[in-house]
Amino acid sequence: MTLLGWAQIALVLASVIACAIPLARYIAAVAAGRVTFLAPVERAIYGLAGIDPARGMGWKGYTLAMLAANAVGFLILYGQLRLQGLLPLNPQGFDGIAPWLAFNTAVSFTTNTNWQAYSGESAMSYLSQMWGLVVHNFTSAATGIALALAVSRAFAAGALKELGNFWADFVRMNLYVLLPLAIVVGLAFVAMGMPQTLSAYIEATTLEGAVQTIPLGPAAFQIAIKHLGTNGGGFFGVNAVHPFEGPSALATALQIWSQAVIPFALALTFGHIVGDVRQGRALLAVMVGFVVVATGLIYAAEAGGNALHLAAGVDPTQGNMEGKDVRFGMALVALFTATTTGASCGAVNAMFDSFTPLGGMIPLFLIQLGEVLPGGVGSGLYGILVFALLAVFVAGLMVGRTPEYLGKKVQAKEVKLAMLAVLVLPAAILGFTAISVVLPFAVSSIQDAGPHGLSEMLYAYTSAAGNNGSAFGGLTADTPWLNTTLGIAMLLGRFAYIVPVMAIAGSLAAKPKLAVSTGTFPTHGPLFIGLLAGVILILGGLQFMPALALGPVAEHFVLAAGKTF
């Protein structure tokens, strides 16, 4: 670790937070319908779709509308992928995507996971990338933000029956938040070297006379929304480590900014919606704290290098370079890794599978903590609010008072629903991993022997259920078993989580908002920040300790003992 490295980390994080502050206010204004510069487009959509944007929806109506939009989106994407071979803008002549892979990919992009069992440049036509995947990069992100807005509104006032209009929230987040940011960031990405063209791949004759096929495509715009929407699905196979997808250290820094700025801003937007900005700052403090600690741990582990390789004669200056490109440097790899897994993005600018055991455990653990640090766009906010409810519940148990959060009484019903939501992740991750490591045809997908093999399988289900999408790439994921079960894990992680959370929102919205009294536990101070961090760490972390001990921790000690597999 170097001072220069930490300066890079500090500068990027500072610019994220500096931009998140005004963006938070802007998102709150968009959510309230006060931003109207695309009003004609907006009105045209409402008119064609028969939507009254002013009509409020209860939690059930809101959830049903959201599920309908996602179901339709899923079916259309599945069709687009299957029919790819018959459609235009396919200069490389790729065939339609096979059924299991199309199912997996459609689920993956609908749920904002962007797990990829295919490699972009050798499977996807330009048309599929644009009107299939780009669209879902937008809509799955807008879905997340809309849900976060609905949940936030439940705390805004007493005796609410309605949480907003899903269609209005959904359309406005696409048009006013995601689209302008994607255009600006996308153009910056082109300037930095990302391709944006419909030309076919280029056949170059290299200096030594060999033929090199250089893939191209409309990449920059998709990459912009892939990060801004915390989607993470790469245009090219190796994601942001591909020189066209991460052409420079500045580009990787802007990608880090893009994948963190909206999730961080939404924590502050929550403060604006509930009318108390300190509440948003407390959530932000927890998120930033975890990201900084995780970045430091990854940075230390990777900069320290692989002890086996150092003993074999590798110079220790650069650290563990297997699976990493030269241009980014270890500090930006560490910050990128912490934000992409903390923020449920899933893009990678280095290969986690070749990280040192502890360096690879941190991204795995960040996802297992529930994707709330800061979590995906929207999903991070409603996720951390669930933990906030559990934190005040724990505090209430300690002092023997009925817990309240922002003046709303948290009672048995909400706590049960919160636990239901929190248990989805461990059930999906540990359940599917346990089944897969005893099925011979599933185990055959594992590349590495020893504890690392378990880590590969554990990471896959963690990534899917956490809607992250990053991978320990050694796993051969394009098999019927993995495509199907990972698809199911993604659906559980997204929708089986959202429904109880929306039920909590509906239940809390209807309650009166109690005035602050001397007995109220303040939820904006350091005590609450510490309590919330503790609840996330204990609740999220303890469930996975045995699995982590068998995977990365065991591998760390095995490596220290000089053993290979």
Q: Which of residues 338-397 bind other proteins (CB under 8 A)?
A: 349-351, 353-357, 360
Return the structure tokens found at 309.
């390789």
Q: Which of 16, 23, 163, 171 binds other proteins (CB under 8 A)?
A: 171
The contact mask relative to other proteins for 448-467 (x = CB under 8 A, - = no) is: x-xxx--xx-----------
Question: Judged by CB, which is closer to other proteins: 31, or 178?
Answer: 178
Report the site for other proteins in 217-246 (rule: CB under 8 A): 218, 220-222, 236-238, 241-244
Interface stretch with other proteins, choices 196-204, 432-440, 489-497, 522-530 (CB under 8 A): 196-204
Please give the size of the binding site for other proteins, defined by CB under 8 A. Answer: 125
Query: How does DSSP assign 193-236, residue by residue?
Result: T--B--PPPEEEE-TTS-EEEE---BHHHHHHHHHHTT----SS
Q: Among residues 430, 446, 530, which one has the least CA distance to residue 481?
A: 446
Report the site for other proteins in 290-329 (rule: CB under 8 A): 305-306, 308-309, 312-329
Least CB distance to other proteins at residue 522 (A): 40
CA-to-CA dists, residue 280 to 118, 405, 523, angstroms: 39, 13, 10
Decide if residue 444 touches other proteins (CB under 8 A).
no
Interface stretch with other proteins, choices 193-201, 398-406, 413-421, 482-490 (CB under 8 A): 193-201
The residue written with tokens 């199912």 in the block is: 103
Decide if residue 478 touches other proteins (CB under 8 A).
no
Report the site for other proteins in 26-65 (rule: CB under 8 A): 41, 45, 48-51, 64-65
Decide if residue 404 touches other proteins (CB under 8 A).
no
CA-to-CA dists, residue 540 to 257, 372, 388, 512, angstroms: 26, 10, 13, 31
Q: Which of 8, 143, 269, 379 binds other proteins (CB under 8 A)?
A: 8
Interface stretch with other proteins, choices 200-208, 403-411, 415-423, 525-533 (CB under 8 A): 200-208
Least CB distance to other proteins at residue 359 (A): 8
Report the site for other proteins in 410-439 (rule: CB under 8 A): none
Return the structure tokens found at 147.
């849900």
CA-to-CA dists, residue 308 to 321, 356, 473, 474, angstroms: 13, 10, 21, 20
Least CB distance to other proteins at residue 138 (A): 5
Q: Among residues 498, 554, 557, 523, which one has the least CA distance to residue 145?
A: 498
Decide if residue 115 touches other proteins (CB under 8 A).
no
Q: How far apart are CA 294 and CA 202, in angstroms?
A: 41
Contact (CB, 8 A) for 529 and 282: yes
Least CB distance to other proteins at residue 312 (A): 5
Return the structure tokens found at 165.
């209009």
Question: Judged by CB, which is closer to other proteins: 312, or 399?
Answer: 312
Interface stretch with other proteins, choices 169-177, 267-275, 337-345, 483-491 (CB under 8 A): 169-177
Least CB distance to other proteins at residue 2 (A): 11
Question: Judged by CB, which is closer to other proteins: 33, or 323?
Answer: 323
3-state DSSP call for residue 540?
A: helix
Question: Judged by CB, which is closer to other proteins: 111, or 523?
Answer: 111
Q: How far apart are CA 228 and CA 225, in angstroms?
A: 5
3-state DSSP call for residue 88?
A: coil
Question: Judged by CB, which is closer to other proteins: 49, or 86?
Answer: 49
Q: How far apart are CA 489 and CA 501, in angstroms?
A: 18
Question: Judged by CB, which is closer to other proteins: 233, or 540?
Answer: 233
Least CB distance to other proteins at residue 224 (A): 9
Least CB distance to other proteins at residue 329 (A): 4
Q: Counting beta carbons within 10 angstroms of the beta carbon of residue 187, is it exposed (0 to 12), middle (13 to 18) or buried (19 or more)?
A: middle
CA-to-CA dists, residue 433 to 21, 356, 459, 497, 551, angstroms: 40, 22, 9, 19, 12
The residue written with tokens 């609450």 in the block is: 528
Question: Judged by CB, which is closer to other proteins: 324, or 511?
Answer: 324
3-state DSSP call for residue 512?
A: coil
Question: Judged by CB, which is closer to other proteins: 43, or 278?
Answer: 43
Q: Counting beta carbons within 10 angstroms of the beta carbon of residue 118, is it exposed (0 to 12), middle (13 to 18) or buried (19 or more)?
A: buried
Identify whether 357 is preceded by a cis peptide bond (ω within 30 of 0): no
Question: Judged by CB, which is closer to other proteins: 242, or 524?
Answer: 242
Report the site for other proteins in 72-111 (rule: CB under 8 A): 72-73, 76
Interface stretch with other proteins, choices 166-174, 339-347, 497-505, 525-533 (CB under 8 A): 166-174
Question: Judged by CB, which is closer to other proteins: 240, or 291?
Answer: 240
Decide if residue 517 touches other proteins (CB under 8 A).
no
